[in-house]
Amino acid sequence: MTTSPAALFDVDGTLLDTTYLHTLAWWEALRQYDHTVPAARVHRAIGMGADRLLDHLLGEDRDRDEDEAVTAAHDALYARYWPVVRPLPEAAELLRSCARRGWRVVLASSASERELTALRAVLDADEVIAAVTTADDVAATKPEPDLVRAALDRADSTPGQALFVGDTLWDVTAAARAGMPCVAVESGGHSAQDLLGAGAAEVHADTGELLAALDASLLGRPPLPD
């Protein structure tokens, strides 16, 4: 079977400026259920799925009976921000440039299908998006590699032909566990030092800077199809 080179893109914080909106939504949802967690700690956990995030912030030995309610509160609070979500610099043009160079572009997201539909409308690059993943595609969320592997399957690609583009330490870790490098951006609020320390192959300020440096990036030239 012939496989294709794939560029797998995280969405929140990488292509769309949503990281701090998620931070506020989680902070408020936790507060509604009497959990006082500093916003800085919440921010550092963004990029994990809800299950991992609550473990990380509240501890694995907590009473889990209210997890579903806290997650639902986050989802409702975050949905209020959908009308103001905006793409990060040149995000759509970066996807188009990658597609022109021969990459199959896949959105690797753990958002619900409804949320991802709203985010794709903001991004406005559907003509070059070959496939997507949603929350329904994975049982374990980042930093586990399941989402990255699901995106890889959707792309009909292999780890040796793929790159992951993300903005969090959890993205870098998940990509490494799936056997591929991660090109990272700082637009989610993690520093270049932290991202490189986690194993990122290269770091750029945001999608605009990555697009400007595309020729020198790992994204500059895809490997030949198998």
42-66 pLDDT tens trace: 999 999 988 899 999 999 888 899 9
pLDDT tens digits, 71-87: 999 999 999 999 999 99
Q: Which long-range contacts (C-beta less than 8 Å, at least 24 apart) are formed by 202-209?
A: 206/88, 206/89, 207/14, 207/15, 207/88, 207/89, 207/90, 207/91, 207/94, 208/88, 208/89, 208/90, 208/94, 209/89, 209/185
pTM reported for the whole predicted model? 0.96
Q: Which of 201, 197, 193, 205 is closest to 217 using CA atoms? A: 201
What percent of the chain shows pLDDT beyond 90? 89
Spans of all domains in the chain: 6-17+86-220, 19-83
What fold does the segment set 6-17+86-220 form as a domain?
A: Rossmann fold (3.40.50)
- Look at residue 223 in the predicted model and tell me its pLDDT: 81
CATH topology of domain 19-83: DNA polymerase; domain 1 (1.10.150)
- Cα 99 from chain centre: 19
Q: Under a CB-based contact definition with an 8 Å cutoff, are residues 192 and 35 in contact?
A: no
What residues have CB less than 8 Å from 188, skipping those under 6 apart? 12, 13, 14, 19, 46, 47, 167, 168
Pseudo-torsion of CA 116, 133, 187, 36, nearest 10°?
70
Mean pLDDT value of segment 212-216: 98
Per-residue confidence at 1, pLDDT binned at 50, 70, 90?
Answer: low
DSSP state of 4: -
pLDDT tens per residue, range 161-206: 999 999 999 999 999 999 999 999 999 999 999 999 999 999 999 9
Residue 189 DSSP SS3: coil
Evaluate if residue 140 carries a pLDDT over 90: no
Render the burial of 132-163: b for 16+ CB within 10 Å, e for the rest. bbbbebbeebbbbbbbbbbbbebbbbbbebbb
The per-residue pLDDT for 226 is 64
Length of the chain: 226
Q: What is the mean pLDDT of residues 120-126?
A: 97
Q: Show the DSSP H helices in 101-178 as ranges.
A: 113-123, 146-154, 169-177
